[in-house]
Structure 1
Amino acid sequence: MELSKRLEMVAGLVTQERIADIGTDHGYVPIYLYKQGRIKKAYACDVRKGPLEKCRKNIALYGAEDVIETRLGSGLTPLRPGEAETAIMAGMGGMLIVHILQDSPEVADSLKELVLSPQRDFGAVRKYLHQIGFAIREEHTLKEENKPYVLMRCERAEEHYDREIEYLYGKRLLEKKDPILKEVLLHEEGKYSRLLENLKKNPTENAQKRLPEVEKKLALMREALECL
């Protein structure tokens, strides 16, 4: 089985032997981990019946029925506390990840590890992880089909960041001067600089109201770029 570069990196971050893949689609990540001999139990969870049926067929194709079990349901709700040590959530919005964790607090509290790849709202995800007692041990970026992705591996531990940019852009990424983050920030900084100039020339009330927000965003981007 060949995974995409992103899903291969997601699988590579898993360290526990009992996992739940949330929004598993066709079950590629748990099957890949099974074939590598890295898991003893997996729950392939999805809210959609169609992909889960395809997932069951793939599990049977690779002879993994004794290890990988499919569960129909939303987020972590198909799981009981303690069944999984690691929850994988990749390819979904950051706020959806937060809501999934909020909606099943007992299951979330029983997890040892989270492997996440949110598509947006990274700062909200990082802040919520710290609120519920997870530390971000690893953070990586990669590009696939010219789109940048962020991946995180989190463990049970207390952690708190001191600066807003560390939540917005990732303390680990800033520390290692991540080149993809720098590329994204340079692009955004240019876009917001042009927006700021246009707002300054626009005398309307709405434009003037937006000025402080855009100036603040630009200041944070430039502070982050100084670290990179």
Structure 2
Amino acid sequence: MNQELKQLQPEFNQECQKLGIAVSEAQSEQLLEYLSSLFKWNKAFNLTAIRNPQEALYLHLLDSVVVSPAVASFDSCLDVGTGGGLPGIPLAILNPEKSFTLLDTNSKKTRFLKQVVYELGLNNVTVVNKRVQDFNHDSGYACILSRAFASLKDMTDWTEHLLAADGQWLAMKGLYPDDEIAQLDSSLQLVDSKQVKVPNLDATRYFIYLQKTQ
């Protein structure tokens, strides 16, 4: 593990505790190992613009860890446009009893993710290198989540065929998306919205839950 990240582990554990999110020592180490691999592979694969370990701790790890309570009621999740595995990999580490599919069109990023899954022994993660429109899943997912993937309309239009009958979309937004919500089809409804604070970040985070109308 990157030694600078190793030194940040107590700080990371403390911030998780403040958030009320239970993280075991083994999970904490896995999360930091993942971030260490992200930095290592970044030199060749351009996975993130963030180079500073402490910045990445908050902007990548903790920004993903805060999502964990939001997926508590779902047994299967599809992370669309996962990129370097955010928030999918951290969520899979924190929720080993749930299954996660990480989908991205960038073959370099999915190659990195497959290596991370192998190195960390994440048996609950499947990595898929496809366009979302070309991907199918027989039973559908209980939750389809995205972090800066697309507008709410595009996200729901492109992934509707992948949602389970009673499933929900969960979109993470930096600003409350009034205009995007107004553009949604009448067959969709806003189920809930939550404002979330990430430690040491000025930016606001909103979790937007959507569902098909019955």
| TM bin (shorter chain) | 0.5 to 0.7
Distance 1:140 1:157, change over 3 A: farther
RMSD (Å), alpha carbons: 2.9
The partner residue of 2:160 within 105, 108, 111 is 105
Q: CA deviation at 1:42?
A: 1.5
Greater share of residues in helix: 1
Q: Is the 8 A contact 2:80 2:149 kept in 1?
A: no
Normalising by the residue count of structure 1, what TM-score does the alignment of the two structures yield?
0.56
The partner residue of 1:57 within 99, 115, 120 is 115
Task: Tell me which stretches of 4 or more aligned residues in structure 1 moved more than 6 Å.
Answer: none
Give percent identity, aligned residues only. Answer: 8
Q: Is the 8 A contact 1:24 1:44 kept in 2?
A: yes
Q: 1:187 — aligned with what?
A: none
Cα distance in 2 for partners of 1:23, 1:102 equals 15
Q: 1:33 — aligned with what?
A: 91
Q: Deviation per CA, 1:185-214: give whole Å up to 9, x if none.
A: xxxxxxxxxxxxxxxxxxxxxxxxxxxxxx
Counterpart mapping for 1:184-199 below 5 A: none
Q: Is the 8 A contact 2:140 2:163 kept in 1?
A: no
1:151 corresponds to which letter in structure 2?
F
Q: 1:133 — aligned with what?
A: 188
Q: Is the 8 A contact 2:170 2:207 kept in 1?
A: yes
Gaps of 5+ in 2: 1-30, 33-59
Q: Is the 8 A contact 2:188 2:210 kept in 1?
A: no
Give the structure with higher Rg (CA): 1
Q: CA deviation at 1:123?
A: 1.9
Q: 2:77 — aligned with what?
A: 19
Distance 1:128 1:105, change over 3 A: farther
Q: 1:4 — aligned with what?
A: 61
Q: Is the 8 A contact 2:80 2:144 kept in 1?
A: yes
Cα distance in 1 for partners of 2:176, 2:91 equals 28
1:69 aligns with 2:126: yes
Q: Is the 8 A contact 1:135 1:157 kept in 2?
A: no
Normalising by the residue count of structure 2, what TM-score does the alignment of the two structures yield?
0.59
Q: Deviation per CA, 1:43-98: give whole Å up to 9, x if none.
A: 1001111111111111112101x3211111233542325331111111234x2x42
SS, match of residue 208 in structure 2: strand
Distance 1:120 1:49, change over 3 A: farther
